[in-house]
Amino acid sequence: MYFTYVLRSRIDNNLYVGWTDDLRKRFEDHNKGNVLSTKSRKPFELEYYEACRNKMRAIKREKYFKTGFGRRFLKNRI
């Protein structure tokens, strides 16, 4: 399984969207500061995730969540 996930920074309250094949490990990596793009915004809360059967679907969902329509979807969902 692959996962598209949304994290919320407790520092600036902004969202981060990504995808992974190991959600628990990736969430730990973000909170430990092992991810360069989010290192300065930790700690995080897991706000939302979706399980996908294949990698391409997870990547497409990530890209969608980064669009205006995707942001609106997330705002209504979380």
Q: Is the pLDDT of residue 78 over 90?
A: no
Task: State the architecture of 2-77 in CATH terms.
Answer: 3-Layer(aba) Sandwich (3.40)
Tell me how far apart the 2 most distant CA atoms of the chain are, in Å: 33
Domain ranges of the chain: 2-77
At residue 77, the pLDDT reads: 86
Contact status, residue 34 vs residue 22, Cβ threshold 8 Å = no
14-45 pLDDT, tens digit per residue, is 999 999 999 999 999 999 999 999 999 999 99
Q: Which amino acid is at 15?
A: L
At residue 51, the pLDDT reads: 97
- What gap in Å lies between CA 61 and CA 78, rounded to an integer? 16
Contact status, residue 47 vs residue 78, Cβ threshold 8 Å = yes
Distances (CA, A) of 65 to 32, 33, 34: 24, 23, 23
55-65 vs 68-77: helix crossing angle, rounded to 10: 90
Q: Compute the mean pLDDT over every residue in the chain, rounded to the nearest whole number.
A: 95
